[in-house]
Structure 1
Amino acid sequence: MTETLTRTERKATSVPQRRDSRRSNLLSILLWLCALYFVLPLVWLLIASTKDNSDLFSTFGFWFGRGFSLWDNLVSVFTVRDGQFARWGLNTIIYAGVSAIGASLLATMAGYAFAKYKFPGATAMFSVILGAIMIPLTALALPTYLIFNSIHLTNTMWAIIVPSLVSPFGVYLMRVYAADSVPDSLLEAARMDGAGELRIFWQVGIRLLSPGIVTVFLFSLVATWNNYFLPLIMLNSSDLYPLTVGLAQEQSASAAGGGAQALFSTVITGSFISVVPLVIAFLFLQRYWQSGLATGSVKG
Structure 2
Amino acid sequence: MKNQLVFFWRCIFGPKLYQTYPFAIPPPSRNDQQPTHLYTKNTAESLSDNVFFVLKLSIGILKVTWPLCLIYCYRKGLLTYENGIMTLRIVGCIAIISAYFMLLRGIGRFVNPNYKIFIEQFYKVKSNPTKEARHNLLSKFDFSLSHWKPDYVIESSFIRKLPMISTTKNDLINRTESTLIDRLFHYPSLFLGYLCINVFGRRLMFPGSLQLLRQMMERPLLDGRTNLIVRYNAKRYLLRTADGKNIDTIFIDRRESNETRNGQTLVITCEGNAGFYEMGCVSTPVDAGYSVLGWNRPGFGESS
Name the structure with the higher strand share. Answer: 2
Q: Which has the higher contact order (CA 8 A, sep 6+)?
A: 1
Q: Which range, TM-score by smaller chain? A: under 0.3
Please report the TM-score for the alignment, with normalisation by the length of structure 1: 0.25
